[in-house]
Amino acid sequence: MRLRRKIMAEALKQVVTPAVERELKRFEAARGSLPGASQAWVEQFRTNAVEHFARTGFPTTRIESWKYTDLRHVFRNEFSGAPGNIEDFDTPSLLPEGDGPVVTFVDGVFSQSLSSIGKLADGVRVLPLSQALDAGDRGLEETLGTVAALDSPTLAGLNAAMMQDGAYIDVSDEVELAAPVRIVCLTSNGFCGAAHLRHVIRLGRNARATVLQAYFGTDGAIGLSNTVTECRVEDGAALNLIKRQEEDIGAWHMGLVAAEVGRDASFDAFTLSSGGRTARNEIRVTLAGEGANARLNGLALGRGRQHCDNTTDILHAVPQGTSGQLYKSVVDDSARSVFLGRIEVAPDAQKTDARQMNRSLLLSPSAQADSKPELIIHADDVKCAHGATVGDLDEEAMFYLRSRGVSRREARGLLVQAFAGETLENVEDETIMKWLEDGLLRWLEQSGEKELAA
C-alpha cells in the first residue's frame, strides 16, 4: 500500500491538468475493485499504464494525429454516475440475423442476461475479459498489451489502467468460425459515466473469424465510451472486424483498434460511425509478416454539431505487404468529419503495394470536412498512392431526378445512398452488409425527418 501511495504521489507531481489529476485519483480509488486485482501481473500491467498516462496525459491538438480533434471539451465532464436501465434494450433487434456467440456489455459491465455465448467449437474461447483477468488466464497474459502500444498518442494508457471488462476471443490454429462473434456495447438511458472496455482477439495460425462490434445507446445516454480492441492475427490467419457505432447524439466515443498481422495473414476492417457528439475511430495496423494484407474501409455520417474522426495508421514493416483504404463521409448541418490516414513503408519493406482514398460529401454550406492523407516511404521498390476529394451534391443529378417527379428529400437520399454505397460493397457477407445498410438508411430517414420539420 505504501508503494502504491508513493507511485501515485510521484505521478501527481507530473500532472499538468485537473482532468488528468481527476482520472488518477479515480483510478487509485477504484483499483482494488477492478477485475484482476488479485493477480500480480494484472496489477503490474495497470501500474505501468497509469504511470504512462500520468506522464503523457490526454492527447492534444499539438500532436499531429489529433490535429483536428480537441478533447478539452470532452474531459471537462466529470463522467461519474450510476449505470442506467438495461430493460431499455432488445439486443437481438440490434444485430444482423444469424447464429454465433453474443457478448453484451451495458455501461461497461458484462450482462449475463443479454448475452448468449452457447456451446463453442473445439479450439474457440469467448468469455468476458473480467473473468479472464480474475482467473489470471495465461493466454490473456501473453497477449494483453502486446499490440496496443502505450507510447502511441491515444487513450490506451487510461484504458489499460481502468479497463472494467470486454470480450476475450481466442481461436486456435486451423480453426474457422462458422458464424460471427458479436460484441454488443450498450449505454443506457441516463448513463453519464465512463465505460473503459478492452477487447482482446487472437487468431492462431490459419484460423478464420468474423467479429462484429455494435455500439448503441438510448436517448439521454451522455457518458464516455473509451474502447481498445487488440487483434493478433498470426501467420495465414484472416480476421474480419466490423464495427457499427450508433450511440446517442450526446455521448462521447473514443475507439482504438490495434492489429498485428503475420505472414500471409489478412486483416479486414469496416467502420460505420453515425453516433456521438464527438466520435473518434482509430485503427493502427502493423503488417509484421511478409505477404500480409490489410483492408480498411469506413463511412462517417454526421449532422447537427457532431464531430467524427476516422484516423488510420498502417506500418508496412516487411516486404510484399499490401494495404487498401477507402473512407467516405457525409456531413450535414454544422457537423465536421475528419480523416487522417498515414501509411509508412519501412526501409526493408520492398514490393509494398499501398493505396488510400478519402472522399467527403457536404450537404450544407456550414458542414466541414478535413482530410490529411500521408505517405512516408523509406523503400524504393513500391507502389503507393493516395488521394482525397471534398464536394457537394451533384446539381445536374439532382435536377435530373427532380425533373422526373422525385421529391428533393428523396433525390437527396438516393444520391447520398449511391455515394456511400461504394464503401458497403467491400463487405462480402450479404447479411452483414444489409445490417450496415440499415444504419445508413436510419440516418437518412432521420435526416429527412429533420428536413421536413424545417
pLDDT tens per residue across all 454 residues of the chain: 455 555 545 544 444 688 899 999 999 999 999 999 999 999 999 999 999 999 999 999 999 999 999 998 888 888 876 665 655 567 777 899 888 999 999 999 999 999 999 999 999 999 999 999 999 999 999 999 999 989 889 999 999 999 999 999 999 999 999 999 999 999 988 888 999 999 999 999 999 999 999 999 887 788 999 999 999 999 999 999 999 999 999 899 999 999 999 999 999 999 999 999 999 999 999 999 999 999 999 999 999 999 999 999 999 999 999 999 999 999 999 999 999 999 999 999 999 999 999 999 999 999 999 999 999 999 999 999 999 999 999 999 999 999 999 999 999 999 999 999 999 998 999 999 999 999 999 999 987 656 555 5
The amino acid sitting at 361 is L
What is the domain range of residue 318?
A: 63-393
Residue 173 corresponds to which cell in the numbers above?
490454429
Do the domain assignments include residue 17? no
Query: Grid coordinates 459515466 are at which residue?
Result: 193
Q: Please, what is the Cα angle at 309 between 303 and 314, to 5 degrees?
A: 150
Task: Report whether 110 contacts 104 (CB < 8 A).
Answer: yes
Do the domain assignments include residue 316? yes
Task: Report whether 323 contacts 343 (CB < 8 A).
Answer: yes
**Would you state the pLDDT for residue 218?**
82
Task: Report whether 50 contacts 157 (CB < 8 A).
Answer: yes
Tell me how many domains the chain contains: 1
Do the domain assignments include residue 254? yes
**Would you state the pLDDT for residue 3?**
52
Do the domain assignments include residue 177? yes
Residue 44 corresponds to which cell in the numbers above?
503490474
Distance in angstroms (rounded) separating the CA atoms of residues 401 and 399:
5
Which residues lie below 8 Å from residue 354, measured CB to CB, with a gap of 6+? Answer: 314, 316, 321, 322, 323, 324, 343, 345, 375, 382, 383, 384, 385
Q: In the 8-state DSSP scheme, what is residue 67? A: T
Distance in angstroms (rounded) separating the CA atoms of residues 367 and 304:
9
Q: Is 368 left (phi over 0), alpha (psi -120 to 50) or beta?
A: beta
Which residues lie below 8 Å from residue 162, measured CB to CB, with a gap of 6+? Answer: 23, 26, 27, 30, 34, 194, 196, 226
Nearest Cα neighbor of 435 from 167, 246, 219 is 246
Distance in angstroms (rounded) separating the CA atoms of residues 454 and 449:
9
Q: In the 8-state DSSP scheme, what is residue 97? A: S
Instruction: Report in angstroms the alpha-carbon separations of 417 from 65, 299, 398.
Output: 30, 11, 13
Distance in angstroms (rounded) separating the CA atoms of residues 236 and 259:
15
Task: Report whether 423 contacts 298 (CB < 8 A).
Answer: yes
**Would you state the pLDDT for residue 15?**
45
Task: Report whether 49 contacts 160 (CB < 8 A).
Answer: yes
Do the domain assignments include residue 54? no
Q: Quickly count: other Cβ atoms within 10 Å of residue 56's Cβ.
A: 17
Query: Grid coordinates 487522417 are at which residue?
Result: 340
Do the domain assignments include residue 408? no
Q: Which residues pair with 286 in a beta bridge?
A: 260, 315
**Would you state the pLDDT for residue 309?**
98
- pTM for the model: 0.94
Distance in angstroms (rounded) separating the CA atoms of residues 136 and 288:
28
Do the domain assignments include residue 23? no
Helices 18-30/2-13 angle, 10° precision: 170
Do the domain assignments include residue 19? no
